[in-house]
Amino acid sequence: MSDNGCGFPAPGLHSFLFEPIATVGGFEFNKVMLLALVTTLLVTSFFWAAFGKAKVVPGKLQMVGEAGYDFVRRGIVYETLGKKEGEKYVPLMVSLFFFIWIMNIWSVIPLAQFPVSSIIAYPIVLAAVVYIVWMSLTFKKHGFVGGFKNLTGYDKSLGAVLPLVVVIEFFSNVLVRPFTHAVRLFANMFAGHLMLVMFTVASWYLLNSWMIPAAGVSFVMTIIMILFELFVQAVQAYVFVLLACSYIQGALAEHH
């Protein structure tokens, strides 16, 4: 029973907690880890099957793989970094896009019904990968002093406000950006899953009471939420990769 006594099993943080499937050497392996592992295997297996024996005249699987690869390469990487600079980062961005998208899409898959990205540890690790690449490129291209200027927007022409600008830019770029990069993905998937669970549970709860018409409304909302989530899942993968490319573009930009 819920605290309000109505018996409605309201979703909450407990909806994001799972009992271990197995424990090996003190390490607990749960459903979310399994979904993340399956995601890795699916993405790797798909592109291996699509391009492992690539043909001049592509088959159906290779065509689908090329379409997805070109979408990220031309629609995100080239648009942000340009063809010459961006080509070397295409494999990383394609991997990030499809890994995030599949992790998100588990939310609407029967039996799985959970977006891996709604557990903040996963977005944090992915954002950390981008952060390491971004910082490495910044200091590799500009050196220590130049890299510092790149990250802080150092410009002598700013005069008396220069120290304030340096502090704000440093805080924004070095600390806030990686945090928001991870939290944006996590928060959208967390909120979306919570809403989807709420309408799904409400449909079942109301169907077993005298409020059957309300159950129908809740069910319609569940369908709408599923369709909306399918859109948001793809958009969040797109935005994550787009931001990653913009950070790299900033690292490669010449400081004036």
Question: Domain locations in the chain?
Answer: 60-254
Q: Please give the pLDDT value at position 8.
A: 61
Please enumerate, as own/partner, the contacts of 225-233 that have beta carbons within 8 Å and a separation of 24 or more: 225/192, 225/195, 225/196, 225/199, 226/108, 226/196, 228/192, 229/107, 229/108, 229/192, 229/196, 230/105, 230/108, 232/104, 232/188, 232/192, 233/101, 233/104, 233/105, 233/107, 233/108, 233/115, 233/189, 233/192
Tell me the mean pLDDT per 10 residues along the chain, length 256: 54 78 84 95 93 80 92 95 92 96 93 92 96 95 89 82 89 92 95 85 70 76 88 96 95 73
148-184, pLDDT tens digit by residue? 888 888 887 778 888 898 899 899 989 999 999 999 9
Q: Please give the pLDDT value at position 1.
A: 41
